């Protein structure tokens, strides 16, 4: 393969980029765990055909995914998630008129608390039931709920995306003045995310035709079987007396999150040790390891005190989806890190001035990477090191953190497909041209709004100076 290494760097980069994109597109098409596995093929080609030195897998991200997913899956297996959903359902059913605005906020808050957007699966049938029984076009709250659940990831204190992004920003040489990490990032991402969710809710309130004015839907209702299928039996947790052990599981999980947040804010509460690399300066336990420890602790305490069947943990949706995400991050980030590390100087020369002059181009590129990898954590792990390497300001990366969510562009993500399946009325759908589906406008609107407010808040915090 020596002839490949004799090509110009630009030509080598173009060929390698094509190989990486083929792996990403084919992996995305096959779905599931294939996306991460295909990264192995790309990595092998880079190493053995182009003599590229393998990069370092994002082990911090991978292990944090593992810890958070296991804790969240344990919460679901214990029934603690049902308690959260019951509380959420009470809020929604008391205010059905405002469902289209409230449901996105509820799904976003569930994600913020649990660190994963996969909690939305159990909320979607409840949202549909409330919508259809109150004459609300289901597409309005269903699409908004699915998109908002994913937007909550970058605002969650226990999400892999937040922890990994913090770790990268704290470790960079050009560290932001006044930015000490974890909670400083959340001070920007939480309010900017909520503004994005609000924009989604307001837009969704007016989208599409009311059901009584939708002639296509009214025509279908003339079929008794279709009408029975659409309105069906109510799906509800209201009235169910949930046992004390399920409440205990929820409080254990939430307690762990509160402790993690306190340890993130009060650095002196974390144990510290001399760091030889920094001349013996005392360095506190990293937040990456702190979250890993307390998520494992939360899962352990739930099993011990609620007598949860440990065999059920690996069988629920949160665990399965989380493991797929972990493999995806492993394969993709390793492949991307290996390729971009070699060509960073060339890319800095070609793109550095453009990105620094037009900071919004960073957000566009991150959005596209996210679509390719179908994971916010994987997108950040693959692209942020490159962005920092070519001179993108860490403040800009904080401001446009919401741009790591771009996998709504095509309706292939599991939560979006689930929303389509749960909407028996057929209003939440994939359009004739695929790209014109129910999630794309709420997704673009939410992310763009979040990025705008993120830029404003980052500027007010002095991160963009």
The answer to whether position 465 is within a domain reads no
User: 420 and 398 in one domain?
Assistant: yes
Q: What is the pLDDT of residue 31?
A: 65
The answer to whether position 361 is within a domain reads yes
The answer to whether position 413 is within a domain reads yes
Helical pair 287-306 and 244-265, crossing angle rounded to 10 deg: 160
Number of CB atoms found within 10 A of residue 70's CB: 21
d(CA 199, CA 108): 13
Element (H, E) at 58: none
User: 65 and 34 in one domain?
Assistant: no
d(CA 294, CA 260): 7
User: 320 and 299 in one domain?
Assistant: yes
- DSSP secondary-structure letter at 358? S
User: 93 and 47 in one domain?
Assistant: no
Give 358: exposed, middle or buried? Use CB within 10 Å, 0-12, 13-18, 19+: exposed
What are the tokens at 259?
């402790």
Dihedral sign for Cα 3, 5, 9, 15, please: positive
User: 176 and 79 in one domain?
Assistant: yes
User: 130 and 34 in one domain?
Assistant: no
Q: What is the pLDDT of residue 352?
A: 64
User: 44 and 61 in one domain?
Assistant: no
The answer to whether position 123 is within a domain reads yes
Domain count within the chain? 2
| φ and ψ of 22, to 5 deg | -60, -45
Give 49: exposed, middle or buried? Use CB within 10 Å, 0-12, 13-18, 19+: middle
User: 188 and 40 in one domain?
Assistant: no
Choose among 456, 360, 454, 364: nearest CA to 409: 364
Q: What is the pTM of this model?
A: 0.81
Which residues, 6+ apart, have CB-to-CB distance to 331 below 8 Å? 35, 36, 37, 38, 39, 40, 43
User: 59 and 201 in one domain?
Assistant: yes
The answer to whether position 152 is within a domain reads yes
d(CA 32, CA 9): 34
Q: What is the pLDDT of residue 140?
A: 95
Judge whether 405 and 450 are in contact, CB under 8 Å.
Answer: no
Q: What is the pLDDT of residue 28?
A: 65
Report the DSSP beta bridge partners of residue 273.
283
3-state secondary structure 140-206: HHHHHHHHHHHHHHHHCCCCHHHHHHHHHHHHCCCCCCCCCCHHHHHHHHHHHHHHHHHHHHHHHHH
Q: Where do runs of H (alpha helix) occur along 6-79?
A: 9-30, 34-50, 59-78
Judge whether 85 and 126 are in contact, CB under 8 Å.
Answer: yes
User: 405 and 309 in one domain?
Assistant: yes
**What's the number of CA atoms in the CB half-sphere (13 Å) around residue 196?**
37
| φ and ψ of 424, to 5 deg | -70, -15
User: 199 and 269 in one domain?
Assistant: yes
Q: What is the pLDDT of residue 60?
A: 76
* Virtual torsion, Cα 424, 430, 436, 442, nearest 10 deg: 50
Judge whether 367 and 100 are in contact, CB under 8 Å.
Answer: no
The answer to whether position 144 is within a domain reads yes
User: 340 and 212 in one domain?
Assistant: yes
3-state secondary structure 323-336: HHHHHHHHHHHHHH
The answer to whether position 249 is within a domain reads yes
The answer to whether position 303 is within a domain reads yes
* Residue-number span of the structural domain to which 17 is assigned: 1-54
Alpha carbon distances (Å) from 11 to 276, 288, 442, 448: 42, 38, 39, 34
Q: What is the pLDDT along the chain (465 residues), one digit of tens a residue?
A: 677 777 888 888 888 888 888 887 777 667 668 878 888 898 999 999 888 889 877 777 788 878 888 998 999 999 998 999 899 999 999 989 999 999 999 999 999 988 888 788 888 889 999 999 899 999 999 999 999 999 999 999 888 888 888 878 877 777 777 776 778 899 999 999 999 999 999 999 999 999 888 888 888 888 888 888 888 777 778 888 999 999 999 999 999 988 988 887 788 899 999 887 777 788 888 877 888 899 999 999 999 999 899 999 998 877 887 787 788 778 877 887 788 778 777 776 766 677 777 888 999 989 988 887 778 887 888 788 888 888 888 999 999 999 999 988 877 777 888 888 888 888 998 877 778 889 999 999 999 999 999 999 999 998 887
């Amino acid at each position: 393969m020596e002839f490949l290494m004799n090509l110009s760097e630009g030509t080598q980069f173009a060929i390698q980029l094509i190989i990486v994109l083929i792996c990403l597109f084919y992996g995305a098409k096959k779905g599931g765990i294939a996306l991460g596995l295909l990264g192995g093929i790309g990595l092998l080609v880079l190493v053995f055909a182009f003599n590229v030195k393998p990069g370092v897998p994002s082990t911090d991200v991978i292990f944090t995914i593992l810890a958070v997913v296991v804790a969240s899956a344990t919460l679901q297996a214990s029934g603690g998630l049902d308690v959260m959903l019951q509380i959420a359902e009470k809020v929604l059913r008391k205010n059905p008129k405002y469902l289209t605005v409230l449901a996105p906020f509820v799904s976003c808050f569930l994600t913020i608390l649990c660190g994963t957007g996969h909690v939305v699966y159990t909320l979607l049938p409840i949202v549909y039931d409330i919508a259809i029984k109150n004459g609300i076009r289901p597409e309005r709250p269903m699409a908004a709920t699915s998109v908002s659940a994913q937007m909550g990831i970058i605002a969650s204190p226990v999400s892999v995306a937040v922890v990994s992004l913090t770790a990268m920003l704290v470790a960079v040489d050009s560290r932001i003045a006044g930015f000490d990490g974890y909670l400083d990032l959340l001070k920007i991402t939480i309010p900017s995310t909520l503004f994005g969710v609000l924009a989604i809710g307001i837009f969704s309130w007016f989208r599409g035709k009311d059901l009584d004015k939708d002639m296509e839907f009214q025509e279908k209702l003339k079929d008794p079987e279709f009408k029975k299928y659409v309105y069906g039996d109510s799906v509800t947790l209201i009235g169910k007396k949930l046992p004390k052990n399920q409440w205990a599981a929820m409080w254990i999980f939430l307690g762990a999150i509160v402790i993690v947040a306190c340890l993130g804010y009060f650095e002196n509460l974390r144990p510290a040790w001399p760091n030889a690399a920094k001349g013996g300066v005392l360095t506190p336990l990293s937040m990456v390891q702190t979250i890993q420890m307390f998520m494992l602790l939360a899962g352990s305490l739930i099993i011990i005190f609620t007598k949860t069947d440990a065999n059920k943990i690996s069988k629920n949706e949160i665990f399965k989806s989380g493991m797929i995400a972990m493999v995806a991050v492993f394969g993709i980030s390793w492949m991307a890190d290996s390729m971009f590390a070699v060509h960073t100087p060339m890319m800095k020369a070609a793109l550095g001035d453009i990105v620094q002059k037009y900071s919004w181009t960073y957000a566009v590129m991150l959005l596209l990477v996210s679509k390719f990898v179908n994971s916010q954590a994987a997108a950040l792990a693959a692209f942020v090191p490159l962005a920092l390497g070519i001179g993108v300001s860490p403040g800009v990366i904080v401001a446009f953190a919401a741009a790591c969510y771009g996998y709504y562009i095509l309706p292939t993500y599991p939560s979006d497909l689930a929303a389509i399946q749960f909407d028996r009325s057929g209003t939440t759908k994939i359009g004739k041209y695929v790209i014109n589906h129910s999630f794309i406008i709420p997704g673009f609107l939410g992310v763009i709004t979040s990025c705008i407010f993120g830029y404003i808040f980052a500027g007010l915090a002095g991160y963009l100076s």
